[in-house]
Amino acid sequence: MKKLLIHPEELTKKWVDRMVENDIGILGIHPVGGRQAYLHLANMLEEQKKPEVRALYDYAAEKGLKIEYGIHAAGYLLPRALFAEHPEYFRVDENGERNPDLNFCFSNEEAMELFLENTAKLAKQLYGSSKRYFLWLDDAKDAHCHCPECRKLSPSDQQMTVLNAMVRRLRKDDPEASLAYLAYVTAITPPETVKPEEGIFLEYAPYERKMDRPVSEMPESEIENLKDLLTFFGKENSVVLEYWYDNSLFSGYKKPPKVLVPNNDNVRADLDFYRTLGFEDLSSFACYLGDDYDALYDEIDLTGIAEKNDPLEG
């Protein structure tokens, strides 16, 4: 299936209709990331208490869309305010200081326990969510813990350890829950020592790829890494998370949005490439394409990803 991820504040009936028209089967909701991701997530949950906001999600479900959430959630799952009383819950940064900026110290048992209970609570709060979760760790290059315990593991192994504990906790409440391993930036290589547990699947997000060339023209080492990821995690439930329509990225994460003219040939070539490797679901960010975009420019051209132009699916 195909999925587009948009910011919750950009969700409109028009976006839902646009997805349906272009045979996108999954509506992805992605609160703004970065250092303040926890505030954006809290804001989304607050908004979702309003009947008129819930009605939009209900409309998407009525139109047959599956709803999934892609969230940089670590800063929310271990509240930053705990730093004053419990600095030991937080990561040791590259300067050797405890720092509440990103993620946490997963070797701290109390921190981990709290993080997992909050994971279970958050999963229940995501309005209309499928059982497939994309609760990503924080969004930065050097975001892992450098304490003597944690640093025994690579960033990918640290992430795998946390995700394994999360999926175990989610499955206590719902045995069908599954959770994405986001292969991205510092954790884009497969873990070396920690194996994925039942319910973990691969989500590949090549943030550092060049957008002006097909992804098949990435350096050979990156293609090998992608194949290694598929071997390590398996192809079942594997998802690509692309940037074809990520107008927040192309706008430098600053409004007003810039105009986006997708390269449809490259999008189709990438779809073929990923499918040939065995990916099941193909998704892209499509942020900064809400009502404010439509007021400035022509509506976004989604023909590159649309199923009806895609003879291999249907």
Closest approach, Cβ 111 to Zn ion, in A, equals 9
Number of H helices, E strands in the chain: 10, 10
Q: Taking contact as CB under 5 A, which single stretch among the options 150-158, 185-193, 216-224, 248-256 is the one that binds Zn ion? A: 150-158
| Residue 179 backbone phi and psi in degrees, to 5 | -145, 135
Print the binding letters for residues 71-90 with Zn ion: x by CB under 5 A, - otherwise.
Answer: --------------------
- 51 CB neighbour count, 10 Å cutoff: 7
Residue 77 or 260 with smaller CB distance to Zn ion: 77
**Position among 5, 147, 163, 271 found at the interface with Zn ion (CB under 5 A):** 147
Helix axis angle for 220-233 and 264-277, nearest 10°, is: 50
Please, what is the minimum distance in Å from the beta carbon of residue 104 to Zn ion? 8
Work out whether 112 is an interface residue with Zn ion (CB under 5 A). no
Q: Are 72 and 44 in contact (CB under 8 A)?
A: no
Considering the complex, what minimum distance in angstroms separates the CB of residue 33 from Zn ion? 22
- Selected from 105, 123, 182, 300, the binder of Zn ion by CB under 5 A is 105
Residue 132: strand pairing partners? 178
Instruction: Identify which of residues 107 and 283 has a Cβ nearer to Zn ion in the complex.
Output: 107
Count residues near Zn ion (CB under 5 A): 5
Pick between residue 92 and residue 260 the one whose CB is nearest to Zn ion: 92
Kindly state the smallest distance separating residue 139's Cβ from Zn ion, in Å: 19
Q: How far is CA 304 from CA 7, 92, 163, 250, 290, in A?
A: 21, 44, 33, 18, 19
Positions touching Zn ion (CB under 5 A) are: 105, 107, 145, 147, 150
